[in-house]
Amino acid sequence: MNPHILLLLIAGLALLGAFMLPGLLRNRLLSLPIIYVSFGFLIFRLPLELPLINPEDRVFDRQWMEYITEFIVIISLAGTGLKMKRQPGWKTWSTGIYLLAIAMPLTIAAVAFLGWWWIGLAPASAILLGGVLAPTDPVLASNVQVGPPKDDSAEDEVRFGLTLEAGLNDGLAFPFIYLALALMAASNWSDALITWAWWDFGYRIAMGALMGWAMGKGMLWTFNRFAAKMSARRDTEIEEGLFILAATLLTYALTEIAEGYGFLAVFVAAVVSGRQESTDLETRQQSYEAIDQVEQAVLGIFLIAFGGIIATGGLAHLNWQGAALGAALLLIIRPLSGLIAFLPSGLPFVEKLAISYFGIRGVGSLYYLAYAHNSEQFPEIDVIWSIVNFTMLASILLHGLSVKPVLNWVDGRMGRKRK
């Protein structure tokens, strides 16, 4: 069979699965990512002459990896922002703020230290590994997030905190990727750190937040300006979907042009547009559904490709020390960092434990790594790729199989009944 026809067949199966599997898997242990990655692994192990995907060594494959994961994360962040129902503030958002301000830096520091001391990475490479593995993924963590805008289920702190963390930490972890890049290229570390602190950490975060606020306001005004004309036509839902996709991409691109963090801007813009009085619930729901359909379609194809990467050498440079670091991140470092972060919090311990456990690693980590690899040559980059691939695979399996039992246990302990 012609390989490109076979690839089209695989893509068609991925899209069909995005339509059929969510209903079939409801209340089941298996998750969509597990099925897609397993299918990709199996199909690429067969003697079908499928093209080898090798982002570690091939520039084209790596650029493809960077661009497709970037798109998936952008779309996912827009959907995550539209699900946020609480008014921003310290009291309402404190659960996520603890994770972002305390748990994430602790996780980066711990992984970077182990990468240097245990794996033997150079300092810049160790910081890159810490930054890449820091964020809780907004894409694969959707099962532990709050529901769509029209979901009237009680909004508990576990799901809300993880949703807020997933929405913001892709932008807030980016400075640490730039720190690794700066140290890798620097001849004077003190000058590099000063520049990083005011530019990559200060200016870029502030510009990302400002652009997100401005674009959220501006795009909502534009939508409302033309909403009346749209409602007079039969294809309103299609036009709304196109608008929210256009607004998301414009927000990201314009923020990046302004040297801000586009991931941060997309999430902020979605939150701002959804929180306005002129935004009715039905519009938010339709916007979310349009974004979610695009995300699920592209994500399914990508996860099959990721399974193919694992099947064709994605773990070739993994040794037992790297596997131990990945396991330690999921089972020790992230949970312990989360529990430390919640020391000032009054949350019940069962909720603290659940939030700390669900530090899901995924598509965002692969984007960061591809971006850094395309920007600079790190001496131990093959080892880093294998560790990140292993950690993502382990997270998909571990968290995918445990998400329903753990959340049901937490809900039971807290006396909550969910639909």
Q: Residue 223: what pLDDT?
A: 82
pLDDT, tens digit (0-9, with 9 covering 90-100), for 310-361: 999 899 999 999 999 999 999 999 999 999 999 999 899 999 999 999 988 8
Q: What is the pTM of this model?
A: 0.92
pLDDT at 173: 92
The Cα–Cα gap between 114 and 416 comes to 39
d(CA 140, CA 392): 10
Span 349-397, pLDDT tens digits: 999 999 999 988 889 999 999 999 999 888 889 999 999 999 999 999 9
The DSSP code for 153 is S
- Digit-coded pLDDT (tens) for 17-45: 877 877 777 766 678 889 999 999 999 88
Distances (CA, A) of 77 to 136, 203, 339, 374: 12, 21, 25, 23
Per the prediction, the chain carries an average pLDDT of 88
% residues pLDDT > 70 (the chain): 92
pLDDT tens profile 283-319? 778 778 888 888 888 898 899 999 999 999 899 999 9
Q: How far apart are alpha carbons 235 and 136 in whole angstroms?
A: 36
> Which comes out higher in pLDDT, residue 266 or 188?
266
Instruction: Pull the structure tokens for residue 253.
Output: 């691109």
The span from the CA of 28 to the CA of 123, in Å, is 43
Distance CA 111, CA 337 (A): 11
One-letter amino acid identity for 184?
Answer: M
Kindly indicate whether the domain formed by 58-413 is annotated with CATH number 3.10.180.10.
Answer: no
Confidence of residue 55 (pLDDT cuts 50, 70, 90): confident
